[in-house]
């Protein structure tokens, strides 16, 4: 039997054609393998992977004296470390935290910065008698104040005031009712701000006994009261005149000056 070379040329594949087909097939398979590898690399992590282990720690706040201060520190931590579990024990000034190690380190840093000792200042008030341009005696009063805490100083005495009488049927006697009035100097101070510029809120009150007598109660003395109250900015070590204390309509006044010194 004889085979026609023409038929073989029309219906068979030459070696060159087979080589081209083989090369195309390898390229196609390589492209598929590369796409699968890239898909595997970019596939997100499974959602059921275990989260980073959490740790627990309690922090004692050594410089907090008020509930509001504890609340402020707790709020600041919650805003900065939102995923952590944060609780406070107000009766013990303690903040308890449960968080991962990285968040816990941030909490430690925040508490170290926020729970700082308060600064102490010595305020010296000088009260000077003035009558127009004349200056007379001066009296000084000093008190130690802690930043952001109100401190008061009272110097003087208590004077009894008779307010009436009541009859006690059980003893068949009259009892005198008495109230007491504080006489002397009363100073209140609250200091805030920084050491470069202090914000002083203060009240200076002086109560004295006059020579007059009450027409309604001649046995009781009459009192005269002068009050100065306001907010001022102090530079530590530099004296500042706050104002004048005294009744209106007279030239006799008391000049109020104050100076602040950092204690620690």
pLDDT of residue 178: 86
179 and 209 belong to one structural domain:
yes
Q: d(Cα 36, Cα 134) in Å, to the nearest integer?
A: 99
99 and 179 belong to one structural domain:
no
| Cβ 227 vs Cβ 254: under 8 Å | no
- What six digits make up the tokens of 109? 């840093």
Task: Indicate the SS3 state at residue 18.
Answer: helix
DSSP for 175-235, please give it. EEEEEEEEEEEEEEEEEEEETTEEEEEEEEEEEEEEEEE-SS-TTSEEEEEEEEEEEEEE-
Is 16 within the bounds of a domain?
Answer: no
CATH for 84:
3.30.1370.120
- What are the tens digits of pLDDT across the range 115-125? 988 889 999 99
What residues does 174 pair with on adjacent strands?
A: 167
Is 86 within the bounds of a domain?
Answer: yes
pLDDT of residue 203: 95
125 and 248 belong to one structural domain:
yes
pLDDT at 263 over 70: yes
Count the domains in the chain: 2
Q: Which residues contact 228 (CB under 8 A, 6 or more apart)?
A: 203, 204, 205, 242, 243, 244, 245, 256
Q: Which residues contact 155 (CB under 8 A, 6 or more apart)?
A: 141, 184, 185, 186
Domain C-terminal end among 90, 114, 138: 114
Is 61 within the bounds of a domain?
Answer: yes
Domain C-terminal end among 72, 88, 114: 114
Tell me which residue of 70, 66, 63 sits closest to 86, measured CA to CA. 70
- What are the tens digits of pLDDT across the range 204-259? 999 988 877 766 677 788 888 889 999 999 999 999 999 998 877 778 889 999 99
- What are the tens digits of pLDDT across the range 98-110? 999 999 999 999 9
State the residue for tokens 């991962």. Answer: 100
167 and 102 belong to one structural domain:
no
Q: d(Cα 264, Cα 258) in Å, to the nearest integer?
A: 19
pLDDT of residue 39: 53
Q: Which residues contact 125 (CB under 8 A, 6 or more apart)?
A: 140, 141, 142, 187, 204, 256, 257, 258
Range of the domain at 98: 55-114
9-24 burial code (b ≥16 CB/10 A, e <16): eeeeeeeeeeeeeeee
| Cβ 189 vs Cβ 221: under 8 Å | no
126 and 220 belong to one structural domain:
yes
253 and 152 belong to one structural domain:
yes
Domain C-terminal end among 64, 97, 114: 114
pLDDT of residue 159: 87
| Cβ 233 vs Cβ 252: under 8 Å | no
pLDDT of residue 21: 62
pLDDT of residue 179: 86
What residues does 153 pair with on adjacent strands?
A: 187
pLDDT of residue 209: 87
């Amino acid at each position: 039997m004889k085979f026609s070379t023409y038929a073989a040329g029309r219906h068979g594949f030459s070696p060159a054609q087979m080589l081209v087909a083989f090369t195309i097939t390898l390229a196609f398979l390589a492209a598929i393998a590369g796409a699968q590898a890239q898909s595997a690399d970019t596939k997100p992590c499974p959602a059921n992977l275990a989260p980073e282990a959490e740790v627990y720690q309690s922090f004692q706040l050594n410089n907090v004296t008020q509930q509001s201060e504890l609340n402020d520190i707790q709020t600041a931590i919650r805003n900065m470390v939102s995923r952590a579990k944060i609780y406070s024990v107000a009766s013990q000034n303690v903040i308890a935290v449960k968080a991962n190690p990285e968040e816990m380190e941030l909490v430690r840093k925040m508490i170290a910065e926020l729970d700082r000792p308060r600064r102490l200042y010595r305020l010296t008030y000088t009260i000077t008698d003035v009558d127009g341009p004349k200056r007379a005696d001066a009296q000084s009063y000093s008190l130690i104040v802690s930043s952001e805490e109100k401190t008061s100083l009272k110097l003087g005495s208590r004077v009894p005031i008779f307010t009436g009488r009541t009859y006690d049927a059980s003893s068949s006697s009259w009892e005198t009712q008495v109230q007491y009035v504080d006489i002397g100097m009363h100073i209140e101070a609250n200091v805030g701000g920084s050491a470069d510029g202090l914000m002083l809120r203060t009240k200076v009150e002086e109560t004295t006994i006059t020579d007059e007598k009450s027409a309604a109660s001649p046995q009781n003395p009459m009192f005269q009261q002068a009050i100065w109250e306001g907010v001022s900015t102090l530079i530590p070590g530099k004296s500042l005149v706050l104002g004048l204390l005294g009744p209106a309509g007279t030239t006799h006044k008391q000049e109020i000056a104050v100076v602040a010194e950092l204690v620690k």
